[in-house]
Amino acid sequence: MKTNARKLVQWLVALVLTFAVILPAVSVSAQDENVLRVQTEVEIASLDPNIATDGTSMEAIAAIQEGLMTRDTEGNFVEAAADSYETNEDETVYTFKLREDAVWSNGTPVTAHDFVFGWQRLVDPETAAEYSFILDTAGVNNAAAVTAGDVDKSELGIVAIDDYTLEVTLDRPTPYFLSLLAFTPLFPINQEFYESTNGQFATSPETTISNGAFILSGYTPAGATTDLTKNTDYYDVDNISLEGIRFQVIKDSQQSVLAYQTDQLDVTNITGEQVQLFSADPEFRSVEQGYMWFISPNQLSENIANQDLRLALGKAFDREVIATNVLKDGSLPAGYFVPQLLAEGPDGTDYREAAGRDLMVSNVEEAQAHLEAAKEALGVDTFEIGLLIEDTESSINVAQSLEAQIETNLPGVDIQIEQTPKKNRLDRMREGDFDLGLTRWGPDYADPTTYLQLLVTDSSYNDQRYSNEEFDAGYEAIQTGDLVLDQEARFDKMIEMEKLALSEGGVLPIYQAASAVLVKSNVDQIGFYTTGTPRIFKYAEKTAN
């Protein structure tokens, strides 16, 4: 590390001691030498693979469980619980042979029935899983009909032929199907164990079962620390180097850096000024992400239902200022909703290059014109608008910049920032209890529909309550209709749909995220990904210093 960086760290430590700022408690002992200590900015909200929706929870779930497929150390999708698979000629029927040496952490075999139960529970209307749509997205036969309550879950296109043979039937060829099998909502659930937890499944180590590389040894929902321990019964345990993983919630980046410098953490995120400070450090990494951060405007909120007001808000702030001056971590200003480097068109052109980057950009004059139109239509001269955010440092900083810019550029608009833990933010947005929500979405698979699905009228993730018949018809055409097999027309239709939604202020994009992290020099083989689970720690290695 450069000398000035070390001096600043020393000064910060002294400052913390002077003002008695106490770091989150993290016990460090000899047995922790091969435990990976990972800082997270938010709490792990759920360890139920059917219920978890955020990246942090999914990272923990991916460490203790696995699906039919997983990622290897090179990031390739390879068989996991599945030993092999074959398909019919048109790739609408997949037959998986499960490995017979995989067991749950209670000693019972992992079988095809566990996948049937997990998938049926995912789409069961009684579960009310927000990711229920993902099996329909994957093309699994009858998934949408089950979720809608039109047919029984037993009609879902998944059947256990025997204990170790699983057959999945799709209603259409789905190019990204196999990659989705490594995604946490599609993980198996042991029915007998699930039912034994009496409604408390995955809320404690005692009510959580593992078939992955680690088992849960310490956890309370939304707690500050989550501990995992190597699963000695895991079939591939010989290739698991770590003895355990500790997820530590530290929301303040200054505190997390101090914990990192005092060897309480092995991996931490950094933001703002810290990025410039550590950018030349050999332990610094800038990781491109597929996450898009945007404002979700709740169209069920009386004023936000006005399209001109939404567009005024979306054009009143400078995205470059937020990315460059506020975040300073390599994030990209985004006047678009579908990220770059996600998917390519039939001719190999990146979707973002083909669709353009300036679908919604800052333009103060246009923003003010939209505001005047909104005032006239609604018969008011002032607007008090709530902006719901989570209580992380980066969200707070971005929200404060949004507030300052919007209020400066839109006279009569008063932004009221409402700060809450992430779980509460998600719950409130799900319930429609907000005006504007500062939120993000990460791609589940490499296709623009992983974002466009959020804007379909009946989507379980349509927190903004956007609804447009033309958009819905387009989505149906590219997913199940006449454009499914016409790749050029499908690609063009997705571009058209994105432009339509942004022209109406369906969402107000802000930036495409990059993650600035510090990783100890003795740590290797952490998988960073732009789709699915953001980070995979399964094969991480930590050598002695």
Residue 515's pLDDT is what? Answer: 85
Beta bridge partners of 519: 267
DSSP state letters, 332-392 = EE-B-SSPTTS-B-TTS-BHHHHH-SBSS---HHHHHHHHHHHHHHHT-S-EEEEEEEESS
pLDDT in tens, 34-77: 999 999 998 999 999 999 998 899 999 999 999 999 999 888 99
Residue 244, phi then psi, degrees to nearest 5: 180, 175
Single-letter amino acid code for the residue at 264: Q
Task: Check residue 308 and give its pLDDT.
Answer: 98
pLDDT band per the 50, 70, 90 thresholds, residue 27:
very low
Helix 487-503 crosses helix 469-479 at what angle (to 10 degrees)? 160
310 phi and psi angles, rounded to 5 deg: -60, -45
CA distances to 12, 29, 277, 375, 432 from 255, in Å: 9, 20, 15, 44, 34
Q: What is the mean pLDDT of residues 504-526?
A: 95
Q: CB–CB of 406/413 below 8 Å?
A: yes
Burial class (CB in 10 A: 0-12, 13-18, 19+), 123: buried
pLDDT at position 150 over 50:
yes
Q: What is residue 249's predicted lDDT score, i.e. its pLDDT? A: 96
Q: Mean pLDDT over residues 282-303, rounded? A: 93
pLDDT value at residue 330 = 85
Q: Using 50, 70 and 90 to split pLDDT, how confident is the model at 3?
A: very low
Residue 33 CA: distances (Å) to CA of 30, 237, 265, 543: 6, 18, 11, 8
Going by C-alpha positions, the residue among 209, 131, 172 that lies closest to residue 459 is 131
| Burial (CB count <10 Å: 0-12, 13-18, 19+), residue 399 | buried
In this structure, of 11-15, 106-110, 218-222, 535-539, the range with the lowest mean pLDDT score is 11-15
pLDDT of residue 30: 32
pLDDT, tens digit, 9 for 90 and up, residues 103-135: 999 999 999 999 999 999 999 999 999 899 999
pLDDT of residue 545: 74
| Whole-prediction pTM | 0.77
The per-residue pLDDT for 1 is: 42
Alpha helix (H) residue ranges in 197-272:
253-261
> Contact 127/134 with Cβ under 8 angstroms?
no
Confidence of residue 21 (pLDDT cuts 50, 70, 90): very low
Is residue 161 classed as helix, strand or coil in its secondary structure? strand
270-279 pLDDT tens trace:
887 788 889 8
Report the candidate in 140, 114, 119, 136 with the shortest Cα–Cα distance to residue 186. 119
Q: Which domains does the chain have, with CATH numbers?
A: 36-243+520-542 (3.90.76.10), 289-514 (3.10.105.10)
Rounded distance, CA 542 to CA 545, Å?
Answer: 9
Instruction: Quote the percentage of the chain above a pLDDT of 70.
Output: 94
Asked whether 278 and 261 are in contact (CB, 8 A), the reply is: no
